[in-house]
Structure 1
Amino acid sequence: MKQMPFVEAKPVADKKLALFAPVPAPWRSSAHPLYLNDFAACRNVESGAVFIIASGLSAKSFPLEKFAHVPMITMNGSISMFMNTDIKPSFYACTDRSFSKQQPDLFNYAMAVSQRVALWEDHAQSSHARPTGQLYPLSKAPKPSWIDVALGRSKELVTDHPLIAFRKRSIGFSKDMSQGFFDARTVAYLAIQLAFHVGFSKVFLVGVDLDEKSGRFYETKDSINSPCGLDQHYYTRILPSFELMSKKVIGDDFMVYNLSDISKIPASVIPRISVAQVEAMLHQ
């Protein structure tokens, strides 16, 4: 992707915030400037297939290196699957501000090897690790008003019925991350929105089990584990978000497939396929 020139710098918490600039700083030092990129700079820069590597137990059986030639998006501690490989994630996403303290080695590794990183700006500012790739600050998408919907505004923010007022935040899907993303209470859903934004058209989900009882494959009983709210939010936010995506976003130009045979997402919402079927699709 063509590098964007430096256009602005302003003091932020004794550092300089440079917009649209590449990151020159060593990844382990917070003494260096933190540079933020606008999401518009990476819109539609990719194409074709992408794997999204999540943290469900089923991810452990996925032959990651077999598909090293295919771009990958990963998140949180799922980056551990990339250790001892030459694979550099196309995007790394983390919405858990405490993750860098709970799993510092994994977070630092993600900052060191990922081509692009999506974090909350305050998390990026407070972290001692600086990404060697491009950093994109996350923001939540606003809920479009019924007037916006009626007049055809905010077409890139696909939402549920605009007149449903009982939700604090609407269920939705962002096709343009510069307008923010919709939080479904699972970072895997953010990763799918990232995939759409950068231009991928065929998404393969790995480890999107959404089974709270099974836990995350990289956590152990001796590690500091992040709280999990999958069961709490499954029927109120997670499943409705995937259902909306299935009905209003997925189509001939954007397909999503689930490689987890133990996923809680119904096959009627996201079709399931095997690794062998993925291989066949990639060779078409």
Structure 2
Amino acid sequence: MNPLPSQLNAERGAFSSFEACRNTQQGTVVILASGASARHFPLGEFAHLPIIAMNGSVALTAACAVKPFFYVCTDKSFRDQQPALFALALRDSERLALWPEQFAGADIPPGTECYPLHKAANPGVFDCLRGGGASHVCSRALWSKRGSSIAFSKDLSIGYYDARTVVYVALQLAYHLGFEQVLLVGVDLDQSVGRFYETDDGEHSPCGLDQHWHSRILPALTLMAEQVMDEHFRVYNVSASSRIPPALVPRINLAEARRIAA
């Protein structure tokens, strides 16, 4: 695996460049989400793989003494809702992908690479007609303003496309970095079950999975499955209880995940 280039310290007002880390990686990456199924995943067995953590899933990486290869958080309120977990992510992660304002005043260890997130512009009519370009793919739903905004960024230097779940941002990041295989862990996307790190008497962050499932999340995952996933970018779902249809993202068991990781 190729090392990423050294970067400037965000505390001095400079950030790392997404362009500099594009296609610098290869092999398999774990995308670790916060679904209840993550609690039963033996993360320590997969610690030799790069791990993209997000939001509160760093509770599991910390418990397993694993440093996230990347930490992604697009929820600007998460820092206030879960300050302990956010501080844990800043402390442990090798690389951070956050909104620029999330870096302000944050206690970030020296040497951490800091990548500022921004959204990509919605595809234009010409993009929709041809289904995208070298840097992205998009829906051809010209008749629908909402549908035509469904897209997948292959190059995060132009920004990411929002599907109302941070998992979709992590998938775009995995593609951008050059990984060829992705193991989805804890990507249950089941609002009724909740997150593995939340307790009945603890702080709960808002969740809009049900609200956006049919309008944003499922259409975006369908686009990825049909136009992005191929022999060069394979995505596997390790969650047996995931809401993602197996017809879109193949569902595998732990034995198969171990084989891929090996």
Match of 2:211 among 199, 222, 232: 232
Partner of 1:271: 250
- Aligned pair 1:3/2:5, yes or no? yes
Give the Å deviation of 1:86: 3.3
Partner of 1:114: 93
Residues 179-209 of structure 1 show CA distances to partners (whole Å, capped at 9, x for unaligned) of 1111111101111111000110100000000
Partner of 2:69: 90
Amino acid at match of 2:175: F
SS in 2 for 1:83: helix
Q: Distance in 1 between matches of 2:196 and 2:4?
A: 36
- Aligned pair 1:22/2:8, yes or no? yes
Residues 40-74 of structure 1 show CA distances to partners (whole Å, capped at 9, x for unaligned) of 01111110001100000000000011111111101
SS in 2 for 1:173: strand
- Aligned pair 1:129/2:129, yes or no? no
Give the Å deviation of 1:102: 1.4
* TM-score, structure 2 normalization: 0.92
Q: Distance in 2 between matches of 1:153 and 1:56?
A: 31
The answer on whether the counterparts of 1:172 and 1:241 sit within 8 Å (CA) in structure 2 is yes
Tell which deviates more after alignment, 257-266 or 155-164.
155-164
Give the Å deviation of 1:103: 1.2
- Aligned pair 1:182/2:161, yes or no? yes
SS in 1 for 2:145: coil
Change (3 A) 1:131 1:226: farther
The answer on whether the counterparts of 2:34 and 2:187 sit within 8 Å (CA) in structure 1 is yes
- Aligned pair 1:65/2:39, yes or no? no
Give the Å deviation of 1:275: 1.1
Q: Which consecutive residues of structure 1, in runs of 5 or more, have no partner in the other structure? A: 5-20, 26-31
The answer on whether the counterparts of 2:191 and 2:210 sit within 8 Å (CA) in structure 1 is yes
Q: Distance in 2 between matches of 1:212 and 1:152?
A: 31
SS in 2 for 1:36: coil
Give the Å deviation of 1:164: 3.4
Q: Distance in 1 between matches of 2:149 and 2:66?
A: 36
The answer on whether the counterparts of 1:208 and 1:260 sit within 8 Å (CA) in structure 2 is yes
Amino acid at match of 1:22: L
SS in 2 for 1:107: helix
Q: Distance in 2 between matches of 1:150 and 1:214?
A: 39
How big is the alpha-carbon RMSD for the aligned residues of Structure 1 and Structure 2? Answer: 1.9
Tell which deviates more after alignment, 56-65 or 160-169.
160-169
Q: Which consecutive residues of structure 2, in runs of 5 or more, have no partner in the other structure? A: none
User: Percent sequence identity over matched residues?
Assistant: 47
Amino acid at match of 1:130: I
Match of 1:198 among 177, 191, 199: 177
Give the Å deviation of 1:156: 1.4
Give the Å deviation of 1:168: 8.1
The answer on whether the counterparts of 2:39 and 2:196 sit within 8 Å (CA) in structure 1 is yes
SS in 1 for 2:146: coil
Q: Distance in 2 between matches of 1:250 and 1:158?
A: 11
Amino acid at match of 2:153: S
Instruction: Please identify which structure carries the higher helix content.
Output: 2
SS in 1 for 2:108: coil
Q: Distance in 2 between matches of 1:214 and 1:131?
A: 34
* TM-score, structure 1 normalization: 0.86
Instruction: Please identify which structure carries the higher strand content.
Output: 1
Change (3 A) 1:152 1:232: closer
Q: Distance in 1 between matches of 2:131 and 2:164?
A: 27
